[in-house]
Amino acid sequence: MKNDPCSAVARIGRAADGGKQAITPPQNPFARTCGKDIIFGFAPDSAMSDTPQPLYLQVKHYLLAQIQSGAWRVHERLPSEHALTAQFGVSRMTVNRAVRELADEGRLVRLQGVGTFVAPPKAQSALFEVRGIAEEIARRGGTHSCRVLLLARAEADAPTALALNLPQGAAVFRSIIAHSENGVPIQYEDRWVNPAAAPDYLAQDFTRTTPHDYLSAAAPFSEGEHIVEAALPPKAVAAALAMARGEPCLVVERRTWSGSVAVTRVRLWFAAGRYRLQGRFAA
C-alpha cells in the first residue's frame, strides 16, 4: 500500500516535523490523484470510488467544511468568485454553482453588489403570535436596525379599503420600513394604518420604535389574521433586501383589530433563503 498512488490522498503536502507528519496546504487546493480531482483537506467518500464527484460538488463541500469548522464565521464575507476560481483552478461557472447551492440551502447569503457572506442560523418568525421584528431579533441575541423609506398620508386602494373597512380613496397612513438584523436586511414592511385607530402615527420616529410596538400601545390588538404566500418581489423590495434577481420571498399579509376597529393592514416581505416561519397549535 505504500506505493499505492491512491494513498497520496492522505499525503498531499505532508512535511516531516519532529518525527510527526503535518499536513500543509498546497498552493492549489486541488490535487490530481488516481485520475480524480480532490480538494486538499477534504476527500469526500466518492473520491476513492470509481465515480468521482463533479468539481462543483467538491468546491461546495470544501466551502461547507470551512463554514462548519468555524474557519469562516457567521457574517464573514467570502472571497470573491473570481478569487475562488483562481484559488481552485476551476471555471467561474463551477464556483458559482457551488456558491448558489449553498445560498439556496441557507448556508450563505448573497447580497447583490456587496458580496457573499456566511449566513447565521435561519431567522425564525412566529406565525400564530403577533410579535414585532425588533422583539424577534432581540430574542435571537441580534441587533435590530431599520431604514424608514416612506411615512406619509395616502389614499386607500381597494385591498386596503376592504381590509380596514373604509371607503376606497379614504385617507390612511402608510409606512414602508426595511428592517435589518446585525446589518443584514431581512424584512420589508409595507403598512397601512387606520387614522381613527392611531391618529398620531405619522408623528412617530420609527428609527427609535417600531410600528408594531407603537400600535400595540396606541390600539392594543384583540384579533389578528395571517395570510402566507410565496412570491417574487417587486424591484423596490428586492433592492431594499439586497436580493438577487429571481430570488423568492415569503410574504405575510396581516390584519389586526382593536375591539371592532380594524387597525392596520401590513405586508411583510422576507427573503426566503434567510427566514422561516414557525407555528404551534393544539387540536
Question: Is there a single domain that holds both residue 207 and residue 263?
Answer: yes
Helix (H) or strand (E) holding 66: helix 55-68
Question: Is there a single domain that holds both residue 174 and residue 90?
Answer: no
Q: Give the other-Cβ count within 10 Å of 3's Cβ.
A: 5
Write the CATH number for 139: 3.40.1410.10
Q: Which of the listed residues 67, 94, 118 is the one where a domain comes to its end?
A: 118
Residue 283 in domain: no
Question: Is there a single domain that holds both residue 58 and residue 81?
Answer: yes
Digit-by-digit pLDDT tens for the chain (283 residues) are: 444 333 333 332 333 333 333 323 334 444 333 333 444 444 443 333 345 778 889 999 999 999 888 888 877 889 999 999 998 899 999 999 999 888 877 788 777 677 888 876 655 444 444 567 888 888 888 899 999 999 999 999 999 999 999 999 999 999 999 999 899 898 999 999 999 999 999 999 999 999 998 998 899 888 888 888 889 999 999 999 998 888 899 899 999 999 889 999 999 999 877 666 655 554 4
Domain count within the chain: 2
**Helix and strand numbers, DSSP H then E, in the chain:** 7, 14
Domain range for 224 is 123-278
Question: Is there a single domain that holds both residue 196 and residue 258?
Answer: yes
Write the CATH number for 17: 1.10.10.10
Residue 12 in domain: yes
Question: Is there a single domain that holds both residue 114 and residue 128?
Answer: no
Question: Is there a single domain that holds both residue 140 and residue 54?
Answer: no
Q: Which residues of 130-155 are buried (b: 16+ CB within 10 A; e: fewer)?
A: eebbbebbeeeebebbbeeeebeeee
Furthest-apart CA pair in the chain: how many Å? 85
Q: Which three cell numbers stand for residue 18?
A: 519532529
Q: Which of the listed residues 74, 101, 118 is the one where a domain comes to its end?
A: 118
Question: Is there a single domain that holds both residue 225 and residue 249?
Answer: yes
Q: How far apart are CA 163 and CA 260, in angstroms?
A: 13
